[in-house]
Copies of this chain bind each other. A is one copy, B any other.
Amino acid sequence: VKRNIKLTIEYDGTNFNGWQIQRAGTRTIQGEIEKALHKIFNEKITLIGSGRTDSGVHALGQVANFLTHNTRLSTTEILNALNANLPEDISILKSEDVPQKFHAQYSAKRKTYRYCILNRKERCSIQRDFNTFIPYKLNLTAIQTEAKNLIGRKDFRAFTAANPAERNASIEKNTVRTIYKFQIQKKGAYLYIDIEANGFLYKMVRNIVGTLLEVGSAKLSKGSVKRILLQKDRSLAGSTAPAKGLCLIKVTY
């Protein structure tokens, strides 16, 4: 009997070359988990992630699934065996049996990302791999006003990678996505940007955040987000915000 196992995964992306297996010798989250799976199940297993995360991006709730012919182990045993065989910067939070048709990428309905900014004059020391440091003053009202224009079903072409070679072509022919929630919270010197959507284009969150940072520093004027969305031109949007401030919080199915 073939089983389909769904994993919920937390990781510190700092020392990885992102989620996806690339050329040999690079350390990736998918690669480390597949290595552990191979050890545990003694068969070659391909892990399907809900999507890639870039080098330096973290996750509190990435989801992946894999098929196995091994039926001996309970889901708890799989969870424990994986955590025992994985490096300390990956932790499996959950292991579940799911129907054969479940596919971590294609079955995903929504994703939530959080972007963390430390906004003060003095740079970050503690937890500096998990925050992006912005030393200049940000106009939070301007950011919030512009961000409202991103909510809903829109063509986010202007917010995906500029270089077509960088893109995941199969996913990104259609650049229309729906943002359900866009929340900005200020807690002390920290700014948390939470975005929930039915899917994200490659580098979309980081490009949106980069654009909003330029709105906040008045490099981009009022109405910019609306104009950028309409003109669908990546060169009009802000630069890509650093990876380390980004965290994949949740994938909903």
In the complex, which of the residues B12, B124, B127 contacts A125, with contact meaning CB atoms closer than 8 Å? B12
- Give the copy number: 2
Distance A128 CA – B130 CA, assembled complex (angstroms): 12
Interface residues of A in 44-96 (CB under 8 A from B): 58-60, 79, 83, 88-93
Most B CB contacts (10 A, CB to CB) among A59, A79, A127 go to: A127
A166 within 8 A of B: no
CB contacts (< 8 Å) of A12 on chain B: these are 125-128
Interface residues of A in 88-140 (CB under 8 A from B): 88-93, 120, 122-128, 130
A194 within 8 A of B: no
**A: interface residue count bin:** 20 to 34
CB distance from A114 to the nearest CB of B (A): 12
Give the residue name and chain of the B residue nearest to A92 (CB). B122
In the complex, which of the residues B83, B120, B127 contacts A122, with contact meaning CB atoms closer than 8 Å? B83
Give the residue name and chain of the B residue nearest to A189 (CB). B93
Distance A58 CA – B79 CA, assembled complex (angstroms): 32
Cβ B125 vs Cβ A90 within 8 A = yes
A146 within 8 A of B: no
Distance A93 CA – B122 CA, assembled complex (angstroms): 6
A11 within 8 A of B: yes
CB contacts (< 8 Å) of A58 on chain B: these are 126
Interface residues of A in 201-235 (CB under 8 A from B): none
A10 within 8 A of B: yes
CB distance from A75 to the nearest CB of B (A): 13
Distance A88 CA – B127 CA, assembled complex (angstroms): 11
Most B CB contacts (10 A, CB to CB) among A12, A89, A122 go to: A122
CB contacts (< 8 Å) of A79 on chain B: these are 122
Cβ B83 vs Cβ A123 within 8 A = yes
Distance A88 CA – B124 CA, assembled complex (angstroms): 8
CB contacts (< 8 Å) of A128 on chain B: these are 12, 88-89
CB distance from A30 to the nearest CB of B (A): 15
CB distance from A136 to the nearest CB of B (A): 14
Q: List 13 A-B contacts (CB under 8 A).
A: A10-B125, A11-B125, A11-B126, A12-B125, A12-B126, A58-B126, A88-B125, A88-B128, A89-B125, A90-B125, A91-B123, A91-B125, A126-B247
